[in-house]
């Protein structure tokens, strides 16, 4: 793909994933705000190490409704570049089984069958919480990015938007160093939509 998807997917998000309550979306519940975290929280891991992506929110929403069914969908893209740091715009979407392996610990994941690209993750209700936890085991050295975007929860008690972001002080944008294309700054919303990590031998 000729343009790095940090910018392209940001534009698509504004067009198709705006978390505002649009009239045709049928929103009946308060939004589900997911603060995603990554462990270990480091810019560099070794080949074969495991990276865990996880989030948990109360299953009782701000209006008092308790969620006991359905799944909360988070749009997820993972990109890869065979360089550390990223200096060029050419990028490839991560292919499960080629770039990394995935383990579902809580919730579930959607992998597009014809390409083996990750497209969505799902947080499921577990008692008093709604949780998702995925483990990624990289198979190639290079720089990876995880990007998340708003989708929907829909169940017996209604429908709402999911609003994901990385609830971390440092999402390692220093690994993105394309000349003439500055990265967002801490405190800006776009800074917390992506998480970068590099895999070394």
Fold of 5-200: Immunoglobulin-like (2.60.40)
- The count of residues in the chain is 201
Which has the closest alpha carbon to 197: 148, 142, 153?
A: 142
> Does residue 191 have a pLDDT over 90?
yes
Tell me the pLDDT of the chain averaged across its residues.
Answer: 91
Q: Are 4 and 89 in contact (CB under 8 A)?
A: yes
* Maximum pairwise Cα distance, the chain: 50
- Once rounded to an integer, what is the mean pLDDT over residues 126-134? 97
- Once rounded to an integer, what is the mean pLDDT over residues 123-128? 97
Domain map of the chain by residue range? 5-200
> Does residue 13 have a pLDDT over 60?
no
> Does residue 52 have a pLDDT over 80?
yes
Q: How many CB atoms lie within 10 A of CB 156?
A: 8
> Does residue 64 have a pLDDT over 80?
yes
- Once rounded to an integer, what is the mean pLDDT over residues 167-174? 98
Q: What pLDDT does 20 receive? A: 52
Report the DSSP pairing between strands 44-46 and 194-200: parallel
> Does residue 24 have a pLDDT over 90?
no
Please count the CA atoms within 13 angstroms of the CA of 12 that sit on its side-chain side.
13
129 confidence band (pLDDT: 50, 70, 90):
very high
86 confidence band (pLDDT: 50, 70, 90):
very high
């Amino acid at each position: 793909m000729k343009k790095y998807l940090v910018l392209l997917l940001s534009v698509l998000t504004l067009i198709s994933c705006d978390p505002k309550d649009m009239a045709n979306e049928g929103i009946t519940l308060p939004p589900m705000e997911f603060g995603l975290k990554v462990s270990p929280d480091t810019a560099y891991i070794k080949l074969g190490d495991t990276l865990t992506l996880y989030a948990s929110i109360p299953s009782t929403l701000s209006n008092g409704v308790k969620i006991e069914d359905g799944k909360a969908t988070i749009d997820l893209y993972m990109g890869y570049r065979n360089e550390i740091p990223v200096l060029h715009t050419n990028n490839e979407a991560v292919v499960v089984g080629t770039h990394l392996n995935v383990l579902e610990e809580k919730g579930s994941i959607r992998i597009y069958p014809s390409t083996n690209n990750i497209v969505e993750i799902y947080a499921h209700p577990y008692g008093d919480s709604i949780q998702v936890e995925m483990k990624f085991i990289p198979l190639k050295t290079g720089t990876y990015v995880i990007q998340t975007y708003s989708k929907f929860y829909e169940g017996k008690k209604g429908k709402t938007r999911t609003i994901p972001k990385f609830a971390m002080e440092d999402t390692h944008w220093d690994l993105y160093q394309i000349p003439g294309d500055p990265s967002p700054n801490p405190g800006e919303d776009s800074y917390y939509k992506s998480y970068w990590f590099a895999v070394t031998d």
